[in-house]
Amino acid sequence: MTRLSLAALPFIALVAACAPSSEGLDQTGQSPVLPEQADSLIPAIAIAPPTGWDGELPTVPEGYTVTAIAQDLQIPRQMLVLPNGDVLVAEGSGGKAPKLRPKDIIAGILKGRGKSPVKGGDRISLLRDSDGDGRTDLQTTFISDLDAPYGLAFVDGAIYVANQGDLMRFPYTEGATSITAPGEKVTDLPAAINHHWTKALTASPDGSRLYVGIGSNSNVGERGMDAEEDRAVIWEVDPEDGSSRIYASGIRNPTALAFDPWGNRLWSVVNERDELGPELVPDYLTSVREGGFYGWPYSYYGQTVDPRVHPQKPDMVAKAISPDYALGSHVAALGLTFVTNGGMGGRFAEGAFVGEHGSWNRDDRSGYKVVFVPFSGGRPSGDPIDFLTGFLADGEARGRPVGVLFDAPRGRLLVADDVSNTVWSITPRARTRAPSEATRSAASPARES
Amino acid sequence: MPEHAARAEPLASPIHAILLAFPVALYPFALATDITYLNTAVVQWTNFSQWLIAVADFFTGLLLAWALISFFFGRARMARGRSTLYLIVVAAMFVTGVINAFQHAKDGWASVGTAGLVMSIVCTVLALVAAFLVHSTAVVRENRA
């Protein structure tokens, strides 16, 4: 193939020169600017190859401190804090989508260059801070032999793990540092192809229902709609009997789910489609309406039709809901956590943190940071504010944020980084000088730093 | 041996002819699967087209290289007129084929469309023209004692 690719270079250069470039549109907030669709012959690909932090740290706002509380993990994704303060980290890498087209092979090689060479752990690690000084005293394997675990939930003394192909329940006793008992399968999850393999998980506040985010099996239906049965949906699962139903649909890749603390509504961050240009389609944060249809694959942001789907479905387009809040195109939002009652203090007292893994398919990279979406009255109320940055350096990725988790009792934000295989902890600076406050309840207001 | 013995041989050597067989077979097949996709919207047909075009492009690249070498150093030197036309046809087929591969790499219904269909027709016609040119031309080599 070398000869072919070399011979093709002049044409690639020619066509790439015609590829659309970003116009610097404002694509965050309640009403993002959506440009015209621009399908270039050769989609832009800008991979940020992994590099180390080399002793440096991500950038935090003035008055905050960041430290690594776990290193040498094996592709950390989402996290969970147990009642005793132990932190669980799901580690793994899934997806066994067969390569159906020449493009799948080429894209797989290129995207692989932006990933950590470490093999996914297929396990859950436990991080324990015994003395409350903010440092990890024990890092150990909690559950092993999983299959690309991603979503985690704790309900009624049991730990639920969403593998890429099933939802498992593990019995937990307070203080345990490992679970060797085989888990009990609650239900199988849609796993054929698994183009988007991550299974996000959260529990309703009363613990009676679980919600599982199941991504689409393609960018925009190009594997045929038969492959999209039970895909691009959020499932509602009854943990008692494992029965499930579709709670919302047309929601392309819901990568993180959380209930808000104000109205106990389900929210999701969602990754939207590619190859319509560098500024289409913005990923979004939205409250999830029961029975709601969010457009995929027929349309996006409500009724903007995607011509790549055939036959089109005008009746479905007419039903499509516009999401609440745009995060920017191709930022690859993978983490979501809410804060309230002072939260992380300062400008970060009430709202949602969103982990943005970062783009690979636009020339001007987007994402590669953790942002804060301020809320008031239970709704997003302003532009996103950068919270944790510095992941990109000279076009290389020192890290890439995935899951984010507000650990309310300890007043810290945890961020999983699947390139440097680290969990970062960010605290308001005043608090680290007072470890005795580490068990403060979330209800008390955070101290201004 | 007589003093002016002449020997006629095909313009394309056996390996050259084998390389040419790939675009002759695969581009028309890709055109057929394109048409089937446009008629049925069943995704597997455009997947077939993508592989057929990719493999055809690969061998057309080798063919173009072979034809160039033949033009400057091989038997095609003996028939410059026809060979020039043949070279242009093969080069045009390769360029069109590569652009068509990128066109077909678009997702879903965008993978074929008018542009993809037209390029598949062009590649098919050029492959047949190339085969006709090369197989209807002989070069005559005189053996001088």
Rounded to whole angstroms, the Cα distance separating A382 from A411 reads 23
Greater pLDDT, A7 or B46: B46
pLDDT at residue A441 above 70?
Answer: no
pLDDT band with cut points at 50, 70 and 90 for residue A10: very low
φ, ψ for residue A283, nearest 5 deg: -70, 160
Decide if B128 touches A, using CB distance below 8 A. Answer: no
Task: Map tokens 């003394």 to a residue.
Answer: A157
pLDDT at A65 over 60: yes
Per residue in A313-348, pLDDT tens?
Answer: 999 999 999 999 999 999 999 999 999 888 899 999
Flag whether A407 is in a domain: yes
Interface contact B102-A42, CB threshold 8 A: yes
Q: Does residue A210 sit within a domain?
A: yes
Q: How far is B136 from chain A (nearest CA, A)?
A: 28
Q: Which is more confidently placed, A116 or A68?
A: A68
Residue B124: CB atoms within 10 A of its CB come to 22
Contact A182, A109 (CB under 8 A): no
A258 SS3 class: strand
ipTM rounded to 2 decimals: 0.83
Q: Give the separation between CA B95 and CA A12, rounded to whole angstroms.
A: 11
Rounded to a whole number of angstroms, the distance from the CA of A1 to the nearest CA of chain B is 7
- Asked whether residue A36 is assigned to any structural domain, the reply reads no
Sign of the Cα pseudo-torsion (A162, A409, A445, A65, in order): negative
Whether residue B41 lies within 8 A of chain A, CB to CB, comes out as yes
One-letter-per-residue 3-state SS of A58-84:
CECCCCEEEEEEECCCCCEEEEEECCC
Confidence of residue A108 (pLDDT cuts 50, 70, 90): confident
Structure tokens at A297: 């694959």
Using an 8 Å Cβ cutoff, are A336 and A354 in contact?
yes
pLDDT level of residue A426 (50, 70, 90 thresholds): very high
Interface test with A, best of B43, B62, B69, B114 (most A CBs within 10 A): B43
Give the residue-averaged pLDDT of A37-63.
Answer: 89
Q: Which residues of A touch B43 (CB under 8 A)?
A: 222-224
Residue B113 in contact with partner chain A when CB distance is under 8 A: no
The CATH number for A168's domain is 2.120.10.30
Number of domains into which chain A is organized: 1
Which is nearest to A407 in space by CA: A126, A110, A79, A135?
A79
pLDDT at A381 over 70: yes
Q: Any CB–CB contact under 8 A between B103 and chain A?
A: yes
Helix (H, G, I), strand (E, B) or coil at A328: strand
pLDDT of residue A448: 38
The domain in which residue A160 lies consists of 43-439
CB atoms within 10 A of CB B95: 18
* Alpha-carbon separation of residue A351 from A58, A193, A368 (angstroms): 21, 35, 20
Residues in A closer than 8 angstroms to B54, CB to CB, are: 102
**Residue A101 CA to its chain's centroid (Å):** 27
Task: Specify the DSSP class assigned to residue B122.
Answer: H
**Helices (H), ranges, A210-327:** 314-319
Q: Who contacts B4 (Cβ-Cβ below 8 Å, separation ≥6)?
A: B142, B144
Find where tokens 């989402």 sit.
A78
Could you tell me the pLDDT band of residue A18, with boundaries at 50, 70 and 90? low
Whole-number Cα distances in Å, A153 to A125, A204, A367, B44, B119:
14, 10, 26, 39, 53
Q: Do B43 and A41 touch (CB under 8 A)?
A: no
Task: Work out the pLDDT band at A383, boundaries 50, 70, 90.
Answer: very high
Strands (E), A290-399: 299-300, 304-305, 325-329, 333-339, 351-356, 369-376, 379-380, 385-388, 392-393, 396-397
Q: What is the mean pLDDT of each run of 10 residues along chain B (145 residues)?
A: 67 90 98 97 95 98 93 77 90 97 94 96 98 86 60
A350 falls within a domain = yes
Segment A267-312, tens digit of pLDDT:
999 999 999 999 999 999 999 999 999 999 999 999 999 999 999 9
* Whether residue A237 has a cis bond before it, omega within 30° of 0: no
Q: What is the pLDDT of residues B110-135, one digit of tens each?
A: 999 999 999 999 999 999 999 999 88
Nearest-Cα distance to chain B for A118, in Å, is 30
Q: Determine the pLDDT at residue A363.
A: 87
pLDDT at B144: 54
Spatial distance between the Cα atoms of A222 and A167, rounded to a whole number of angstroms: 27
For testing contact with chain B, the best of A2, A3, A101, A193 (most B CBs within 10 A): A101
Of A1, A103, A220, Cβ closest to residue B105 = A103
From the list B58, B95, B110, the residue facing A4 with the nearest CB is: B58
Mean pLDDT of the A240-252 span: 97
H/E stretch holding B95: helix B80-104
Q: What is the CA radius of gyration of chain A?
A: 21
CB contact under 8 A, A224 and B44: yes
Contact B47 A100 (CB under 8 A): yes
* Per-residue pLDDT, A14: 47
What mean pLDDT comes out for the span A18-25?
74
Q: Do A307 and B110 touch (CB under 8 A)?
A: yes
pLDDT for res A208: 96
Quick check: A101 and B61 CB within 8 A? no
Residue of B nearest to A39 (CA): B106
- Has residue A37 been placed in a domain? no
Q: Answer yes or no: are the C-beta atoms of B31 and B61 closer than 8 Å.
A: no
Q: Is residue A9 part of a domain?
A: no
B64 CB near a chain A CB, below 8 Å?
yes
Show the tokens assigned to A64: 């905050």
The predicted pLDDT at position A437 comes to 41
For residue A120, pLDDT beyond 80: yes
The answer to whether A80 and A91 are in contact (CB under 8 A) is no
Q: Tokens 């307070």 map to which residue? A: A174
The yes-or-no verdict on residue A90 having pLDDT over 60 is yes
Whether A33 maps to a domain, the answer reads no
Any domain includes A214: yes
Distance from CA of A276 to the nearest CA of B (A): 10
Nearest residue, CB atoms, B107 vs list A8, A41, A220: A220
Q: Is A280 on the interface with B (CB under 8 A)?
A: no
pLDDT at A5: 44
Q: Which residue of A has its CA nearest to B108?
A: A222
Q: Which of A184-198, A347-361, B68-82 bottoms out in mean pLDDT, i.e. has the lowest?
A: B68-82
Query: Whole-angstrom Cα distance, residue A121 to residue A146?
Result: 8
What are A145's two structure tokens?
């032999």
Cα A214–chain centre separation? 12
The answer on pLDDT for A12 being more than 80 is no
**The predicted structure's pLDDT at residue A433:** 43
Query: Which pLDDT score, from 0 to 100, does residue B142 have?
Result: 66
Rounded distance, CA A248 to CA A254, Å?
A: 10
B40 touches chain A (CB under 8 A): no
* Contact flag A3-B65 (C-beta cutoff 8 Å): yes
Cα A381 to Cα A373: distance, rounded to the nearest angstrom = 8
In the 8-state DSSP scheme, what is residue A103?
Answer: H
B96 close to A (CB below 8 A): no
pLDDT reading at A130 higher than 80: yes
Stretch (H or E) spanning B36 = helix B14-40
